[in-house]
A and B are shown apart, each in its own frame.
Chain A
Amino acid sequence: DVKVTQSSRYLVKRTGEKVFLECVQDMDHENMFWYRQDPGLGLRLIYFSYDVKMKEKGDIPEGYSVSREKKERFSLILESASTNQTSMYLCASRPTATYEQYFGPGTRLTVT
């Protein structure tokens, strides 16, 4: 079974802090994704990566950056956290030539 893990289930940070959210997958998938999930808005794509060191902006990249130094790991970075970044963050991965994505359990981030 594909396993996608996220470093924290719950995280509380202060406004202005730099925040790192880590995601690791164990199935050698080329593609990885970061979404945020908010009530009534579904999942919105922040960034994705189709290979090591390669990244593409999604629909809502403002205020975020990403890093993919190794194939199995994809990090989401909030350079200066703000209260409007309080949300559930979901990581996903998928192999090449498919659409089906495999999701991690999510990190619920609260910025106070």
Chain B
Amino acid sequence: AQSVTQLGSHVSVSEGALVLLRCNYSSSVPPYLFWYVQYPNQGLQLLLKYTTGATLVKGINGFEAEFKKSETSFHLTKPSAHMSDAAEYFCAVSDAGGYNKLIFGAGTRLAVHP
């Protein structure tokens, strides 16, 4: 069965520092991978996705993620954190069990301090 592990439930960075949020997955078939962001009191918004093709994918707000099959990872990065990046981030993997469902990780809450 597929699963998603997000290392670190809380990550804190300084404004202007590199953001790195880690995501590892298990899947028996080539996965589709997603990062969603949730700002306080809002629903989830798609940041970026990997389906096929180029393994480095760029998303909104300067975020990008790289699919590394050998490491079963899909880490999210941003070169320079902004205060507005403070939110909760969820990694998700496609469920090969049918119905095109997604399996979500537990989430990582990103804090950005001045």
Query: Which A residues contact B (CB, under 8 angstroms)?
Result: 4, 9, 31, 33, 35, 40-43, 45, 48, 50, 56, 58, 90, 92, 94, 96-106
Is there contact, CB below 8 Å, between B42 and A106? yes
Chain B residues with Cβ below 8 Å from A43 are 44, 90, 104
Q: B46 contacts the other chain (Cβ, under 8 Å)?
A: yes
Cβ distance B68 to chain A, nearest Cβ, rounded Å:
20
- The reply to whether A45 and B101 contact each other, CB–CB distance below 8 Å, is yes
CA of A90 to CA of B92, assembled, Å = 15
Could you say which of A31, A45, A48, A90 contacts B44, with CB atoms under 8 Å apart? A90
Q: What number of A-B contacts does a CB cutoff of 8 Å give?
A: 56
| Structural contact, B101 and A100, CB atoms closer than 8 A | no
**B106–A90 CB distance below 8 A:** no
Interface SS majority for chain B: loop
> Mask for B11-50, Cβ within 8 A of A = 1, else 0?
0000000000000000000001010100001111110010
Please name all residues of chain A whose beta carbon is closer than 8 Å to the beta carbon of B42 when the two chains form the complex.
105-106
State the interface size on chain B (CB cutoff 8 A).
22
Contact call A31/B43, Cβ cutoff below 8 A: no
Using A45-B101, A96-B100, A103-B43 as known contacts, list a sample of 19 further A-B pairs with CB atoms less than 8 Å apart, ordered by residue number in A: A4-B43, A31-B99, A33-B101, A40-B106, A42-B90, A42-B104, A43-B44, A48-B99, A48-B101, A58-B101, A90-B44, A99-B49, A99-B51, A99-B94, A99-B100, A99-B102, A100-B34, A101-B44, A106-B41
Q: A42-B106, A99-B94 are in contact. Are A105 and B100 (CB under 8 A)?
A: no
